Structure formats: structure tokens, C-alpha cells
Structure 1
Amino acid sequence: MNPAFEKVIVVGAGPSGLLLSLLLIRAGIKVHLLDAAPTLDDQPRAAHYGPPAIPDLRRAGILDKIKSQGMTLNTMCWRKLDQTYIAGMDTSETLSNDPEYGDVRTVSLALQTLDALMLEEFEKEGGQVSWEHRVLDVEQDDSKVSIKVQTPDENEKTIEADYVVGCDGANSVVRKSLFGEDFPGFTWNQKQIVATNTYYDFRKFGYHDANFIIHPEHLYMAAIIDNKGLWRVTYGEEPGLTREQLLERQPKKFETILPGNPKPGDYELGCSGGLGITGGFVDVGCLYDCLYGIWTHQADESILDLYSEVRRQKYKEIIDPISTENFKRVFDQDPEVAKEKDHFLVLCNKAAEDKDFARQMHMASFGIRHDFTQYYRKDRGKGKGPLIVDDAKSDFSVEHIEEVAPTGAD
């Protein structure tokens, strides 16, 4: 039987767009990847990829390379500014041999390195990439999607595909073509988050693989990225500062917040950037299952409506509240009483004494995943029968949100 469609256009050669493109092309689906930039973004952003993202990195065929170039993280903790330990977790046993998923411990690799790895693998598979192709408009009819793009020579042309996936970030033209300017969301105004890649010996101060410092003004995270001593240091700053102002304030900030009060010359600093990716990897992994189901006649397009419904639910009920609580945890409470008052940190300390509870707690972050292959037709590949959706159930209990472990250091 011929495939149900021929081609997918992915707009945005960031981490989510690259992972989706790699998953699709390795399944045999033709992919054209577009990006407005002339090359990959080399700014430091995410560096740690939590347990729910591991299955998708594994089936994309890149997990072993991530581990060989980066690290596997085992320990995570929360501290006061003076380095006093408050609570933490060790996943070396609880996440290293899950019966269903295998080793799902958080892995680390600088995102610019991971992006380059995924792009290389995509091109090895024959994937087409068009740089400096800025999307101007998206139109669709019953049979295809047409994208109008501006090319490097400033000319405009139209590219067609069966499906278009927008992975083009906060200013997504693809999203605006679907929803207009009215799209729900908010911006944190309390803090500006700055991410740096820094060579500094945190181990001599007893730091774990990932460390979150709770403080209303000097919150920060320090997490190991690789076995060469590179750490991601992410810290809070006053909102509204320019890049130049952030760079000017950075030396004093490090001297104030980091253990040993280092001065320039005591550490080697990379450039600064933003955060986040685990949820995005899970999103595109689920979308891959839906598109593959359609391509192989195991599902029809109604599975995409279900995808939209389920992923919105996961965001609203799990990802957004957990991300919000994780962020607020490091600046919106008194570190002197956090050990007793913060429910999540109380659970961390309970888990340290109870391995069965620890395993349950550490695997709770898998609630953001969802198996869309359960909705494939029962007569797989025959092109007959309805899409099975009657028994669709969330694989996460909302009342357990507070017990979800962080999905990664970023």
C-alpha cells in the first residue's frame, strides 16, 4: 500500500524541529526543513533533557551519542545561598532500569551541540534543509498546504507539502496563520533569566550534578553539562535589562552568588541565552506518532485533533503548573523554612528514605507523555475501520501534580 501522504515541511531548525524532522525521515517520510536564520543558533539555551524526553531521543537514534559527548545526571538538590543542603534526590537506581523504558536518567549536552548532531544525522538521511527561508504566509486547502517564503536573494516563492509543522518559536508565522495574534500565554515579569556556560570547579564545594539555590534575589541553578568541567549556571536578574547591562553586571553577580565568591579569571565564561526543551521534545515525539499513523494508514486525520486536545491538556494541567512551581520554588519562598513548608521538598526528603516511593515519585514526570499509538486502527495498515478513541484516557492523575519531580535541570 502506498503511503497516505508524501511530504512534511517543518518550519524552524531549533531542537524541536530538528528532532521531529529526524524522527520522520528515519521512518521514511520526506521532510523539508526551513529556517529564517543562515545557520543553527549557537547561543546556550537548554542543556539538560529530562526523563520524559529520553524515549524520543532513543528512538531518534541519538541517545548514545548524547551520552558519549555529554553526561548522565544522577543527583539533584536544593540549597540555601550559603550552600546549606535543604533537600534532594538521587535517581541512579530509580531511573536507570525502568521495566518499560530502560535507563531514563536525565542527560546533558549543550543544546547547540545537540542541534548540530541532529542536523548532521538528518542530512545523512537525505533530509532537505533551506536556510534563510523566512515564512511570510501559510495557506491550505483540502489537499495541500502552501507556504510563501522569502529566499536569501530576497525573492519570494511558494513551497507545497501535505503537512506543515510550525516549530518556529515565539514569533511563529505558522501559529499566527492558525490563531492570529490572539494566542493564550503570559510572560514572567518578576525575573529575567540568564543562562551561561561556565567552567568552574563546583565539585570542590560538594555540589551535586544539579543544584537549585533558593533565594528571593540571588536564585540560581548550577548543573554539570559534560565530563570536561562545563557547567550551566542560570540565574535570576532584574527584568528589563539589556544584553549589555547583563554582561556588565555578570562578574559582580557571580562573585555574590557562587560558592567561593569567584572573580573573573577564576572561571571561564561562555555567552548567555535562554531555557527549556523537555516538554518540546515530548510534544514532537507525540506528533511523530500521529503523522506516522496517518502515513501508514493506521490512523486518519482526526488523530491530529486528538493530539491538539491531549497536548493542551498536558500543558494546562501538568507542564505549566509544574514549571511555574519549579520556578517560584527558587525565589518565592523563605529558604529558612522551605525544608518544612515546601510540599515537594518534603516529598524529596521522604523519597530519600523510601526507595519504592522514590521510584514512584521520580517516574511521575512521565505524566507529560501520552501514547498516541493506542488510537491506531485495530486492523493496522489495512486502511479500514474507525479510529479507536472511546477508551482514551490520560496517563496521569491530576491530583498528583504536586508530586511530580522536575523533568530536567532546565
Structure 2
Amino acid sequence: LAEHGVKVIIVGAAPGGRIRGLLRGKHTVPFTIIEQTSGYTKYPKATQYALPAMKILNRTALGNDVPHRGLHPNAVSWHKLNGTYIIGLENEIHGYDPDRMVSLPMCDLTRLIYDQSKDLPMIKYLFHHRVTGIGQDDNKATGNQGERLQPSADYIVGCDGANSIVRRSLFGTLFPGMIWDEQIAATNAYFGFDQFGYTDSNFILDPEDWFMTAKTTKDGVWRVPYGDATSLKNEQIIGRQPERFKTLSPGHPKPNEYKLISISPYKVHQRLAESMVAGRILFAADTAHLYNPFGGLGLTGGIVDVDSLFECSSGIRHGKANETILL
């Protein structure tokens, strides 16, 4: 990156794109973040920020708000389906660590990032703007938004998710990897798992009726992803949710004994783009790779991606490295 006149476009206003903007926006490179939606969702989606992610967030103004608003999980444990405790790891025994894991729904994080960055002079948000294609030459990268709008910059960073237009513009449908056979339904609900001896994060082991449950907010929302029959269609999976909750959850609750917030059936992908750099186009987070979600690395990996891009571009801008550091 040159010292002056450098512009960067970030496609996608999920946390990965916004955090990159927040990191860079406090320096001297102008960023435009283009998002096809309003930029917000009512669904919690990802919730876990492991130590590598918290180290990065703590270097921004988010370092105070995320731990304050989020939940510090007290432990992770493994159980049999009948609730029998197998083994666990306590978090509290290590005392306070500013970089320890925090749980905060992604929808809350995106709002925090926007509030912290909206008034920074080097960051511009364009909501309800859809990028339909990407082009580039030796001097610039261009994001196509129809015949009239073709914003250009020195670099474009694709942070527009698993179905990325940016990645597809370069690699088509090629996204090497695999889809696991297992069918998963991700739910969010108010239910007192802790009343049955569960810790804040739990893996329940069973050949058929396996699931995970994790407390994600201070007011008691639990994430409960569970396995279901692979032969079922999405509407059948959704229809079976009360039956599955009764089978899986301690106390075998009826629908009036918990509050279901959301349910989303999905398949687990593990994929990696052919390259995370293609000329003046860069990829990060779900645009670049998809993880098995039962480890909390998806959101953490995306945050680490954008921090690495920030460090590389900062080194180039200050003459400490050249553009080959991005390869």
C-alpha cells in the first residue's frame, strides 16, 4: 500500500468486515463498507469469542464493552444423554484474564462495532447496497453495483460470507472442501439447563441423540444445536423440534416449559478457498473458509483473519514490508 491515497472497500458488514474497518479506521486508510442488507439481524448466530479473538478486540474500543455485556462461561463439560457428568474444565480457577473467552450474540457485537465506528472519519457505511460482481486491473479493484455504480479502490476485501459474491466473481462455484453427512438444527431458547447441573458449555455424547448446549447471554438464552435424521426436509426438522427437545433436554420439557427464540436447520461445511489473495482482491472469514461450528472457531477465525490483514497492510503502508507479505 502506498503511503497516501490508498482506499479499501470491504464487502460485507458482518463482524469480520466491521472489525477490520474499526482497526484501520483509527489510522489513515479510508474504508468503505458495503452491505446488501440493513446490517443487522435478530438472530444470535455465532456467540463465542475465544482467547485469540479477545486479544484483538481488546486492542479496540470494544475491549470494554464486549466483556461487560457478554458472558464469561464458567466451564465446559461433557455428559452422557442421561445427564451423567463425564469430565470438564473449569474456567474460574485461573482467576481474571482480560483475554478469556466471552459469549455474546453476533447481532449484539455488530451493533457495538457500528456504534464505535460510525463517527470515525475514515469509515463509510453503505447499507442496502449490493455488489453484483468484482473486477480489477493493475491499478485498482472495482465492485460492480449495476451500470451506474462501480466504486473502486486499491483493494477489495471480501467479507460477504459463505455465499460470497466476491469469491464467486474470482473462482466461480469452486470452494474446495466437504459437507458432513450429519443434519443439524441450531436453536436458541430460554431454558434452565443449569438447574440440572449443566455448566455454561456442554457437549452431550450419544450415538444418536447428541447435542451441545451453551449459555450465550446473561439473561439466560441457551444455544442448543442437535443432530437429526438426514432424510428429513427443513420443514420436517422444524416441525420435530418439540419432540427433539423433549427427548434431549434434562427434565424432558414440554413446549410451555421453555421459550424457543429461533431454529435453523443446516449442514456443516468445511471448506477453504483456492487462495485468500487474488491480485487486489482479499478474502477473510466465511468468504475464505468454513469450519465445523462445534468448536467456536468460525467467528474467532474470521476476527483473526482481519487482524492479520490489518497488520500486513499496516506494515506495507509504513514501508516495513511489500505486497508479497499478503501472498
Give the counterpart letter for 2:126 in structure 1: S
CA positional deviation for 1:132: 2.4
What are the within-5 Å matches in structure 2 for residues 85-104 of structure 1? 85-94=85-94, 96-97=96-97, 103-104=98-99
Whole-Å separation in 1 of the counterparts to 2:164 and 2:43: 19
2:177 is equivalent to residue 185 of structure 1: yes
Query: CA 1:140–1:215 in structure 2 vs 1: closer, same or farther (change >3 Å)?
Result: same
Q: Please identify runs of 4+ aligned residues in structure 1 that moved more than 3 A.
A: 93-97, 239-243, 273-276
Work out which of the residue numbers 255, 258, 280 in structure 1 matches 2:302.
280
Quick check: 1:4–1:296 contact (8 Å CA) kept in 2?
A: no
What are the within-5 Å matches in structure 2 for residues 42-191 of structure 1? 42-94=42-94, 96-97=96-97, 103-126=98-121, 127-150=123-146, 156-189=148-181, 191=182
Q: Secondary structure at the match of 1:72?
A: coil
2:179 is equivalent to residue 194 of structure 1: no
The superposition leaves residues 74-109 of structure 1 with CA deviations (integer Å, 9 ceiling, x where unpaired) of 310111111111121123344844xxxxx3221011
Q: Secondary structure at the match of 1:10?
A: strand
Quick check: 1:40–1:112 contact (8 Å CA) kept in 2?
A: yes
- Name the counterpart of 2:319: 297
CA positional deviation for 1:257: 0.2
What are the within-5 Å matches in structure 2 for residues 10-409 of structure 1? 10-94=10-94, 96-97=96-97, 103-126=98-121, 127-150=123-146, 156-189=148-181, 191-239=182-230, 241-273=232-264, 275=293, 276-305=298-327
Ranges in structure 2 where 5+ consecutive residues have no aligned partner: 267-292
Ranges in structure 1 where 5+ consecutive residues have no aligned partner: 98-102, 306-410
Which of 293-302 and 2-11 deviates more?
2-11
Give the counterpart letter for 1:64 in structure 2: N
TM-score when normalising by structure 2: 0.84
Query: CA 1:203–1:182 in structure 2 vs 1: closer, same or farther (change >3 Å)?
Result: closer
Please tell me the root mean square deviation across aligned C-alpha atoms, in Å.
2.0
Quick check: 1:73–1:105 contact (8 Å CA) kept in 2?
A: no
Quick check: 1:76–1:88 contact (8 Å CA) kept in 2?
A: yes
The superposition leaves residues 228-273 of structure 1 with CA deviations (integer Å, 9 ceiling, x where unpaired) of 1221112122336444323211111111100110111111111134
Whole-Å separation in 1 of the counterparts to 2:14 and 2:232: 25
Give the counterpart letter for 1:258 in structure 2: S
Query: CA 1:105–1:12 in structure 2 vs 1: closer, same or farther (change >3 Å)?
Result: same
Give the counterpart letter for 2:140 in structure 1: K
The superposition leaves residues 296-328 of structure 1 with CA deviations (integer Å, 9 ceiling, x where unpaired) of 2222111101xxxxxxxxxxxxxxxxxxxxxxx
Query: CA 1:146–1:254 in structure 2 vs 1: closer, same or farther (change >3 Å)?
Result: same
- Name the counterpart of 2:285: none
Whole-Å separation in 2 of the counterparts to 1:164 and 1:302: 16
Q: Per residue, is there more strand in 1 or in 2? A: 2
Q: Per residue, is there more helix in 1 or in 2? A: 1
**How many equivalent pairs are there?**
294
TM-score when normalising by structure 1: 0.67
Q: Which has the larger radius of gyration?
A: 1
Query: CA 1:290–1:71 in structure 2 vs 1: closer, same or farther (change >3 Å)?
Result: same
CA positional deviation for 1:60: 2.4
